[in-house]
Amino acid sequence: MATIVVGYTDTLEGEAALARAMDEAKLRGAHLEVVHSHKEGRGIDADEILHYNEVMANIDRRLDEAEIDHATHDYIQGQAPAEDIVACARITGAELIVIGLRNRTKTGKYLMGSVAQDVMLNAPCSVLAVRPADVPA
């Protein structure tokens, strides 16, 4: 069975990435790995951990209801989010990584988001970058 990895954050961009990854998983009959990574594990308080426990449990329910084979990961291990996403793709032999892109200033568009850029530069497979439908390009 093919594997797709999605980098998830609790934002419009993260939801867009998850929705597209779910569509791709259904289309391909693929297993979906949902990765959330706390930025380098620093400054995390109990409230944030509890919040993401609830968020990831909700994602589990959504994927169960959609009948998509999946696993969810909420990493607090001291690596950058891009490292966690790429590592998951390498370990699982993923054929696709899906990430969300934020709306940026002209300079920001040139530089791109550091997580998105790092994933694209280091991914062992194809990367699909998506935007939320209601955010202008």
> Does residue 109 belong to any structural domain of this protein?
yes
What is the predicted pLDDT for the residue at 54? Answer: 95
Give residue 42's pLDDT. 62
Q: Given a cut of 70, is residue 72 above it in pLDDT?
A: yes
Domain that holds residue 126: 3-130
| Structure confidence at residue 48 (pLDDT) | 83
Considering the domain boundaries, does residue 9 fall inside one?
Answer: yes
Residue 137 lies in a domain: no
Predicted TM-score (pTM) of this structure: 0.89
Please check whether residue 136 lies inside any domain of the structure: no
For 88-107, what is the mean pLDDT? 88
Q: Judge whether residue 60 has pLDDT over 60.
A: yes
In-domain check, residue 71: yes
Residue 44 lies in a domain: yes
CATH number of the domain where residue 77 is located? 3.40.50.620
Domain total in the chain: 1
Least confident of 9-23, 94-108, 115-129: 94-108
Residue 110: inside a domain, yes or no? yes
Element of type H or E holding 96: strand 96-100
Long-range contacts of 114-123 (CB under 8 A, 24+ apart): 114/82, 115/7, 115/80, 115/81, 115/82, 115/85, 117/82, 118/80, 118/82, 118/83, 118/86, 119/7, 119/82, 119/85, 119/86, 122/82, 122/86, 123/86, 123/89, 123/97
Q: Is residue 135 part of a domain?
A: no
Q: Is the pLDDT of residue 12 over 70?
A: yes
Instruction: Check residue 104 and give its pLDDT.
Output: 62
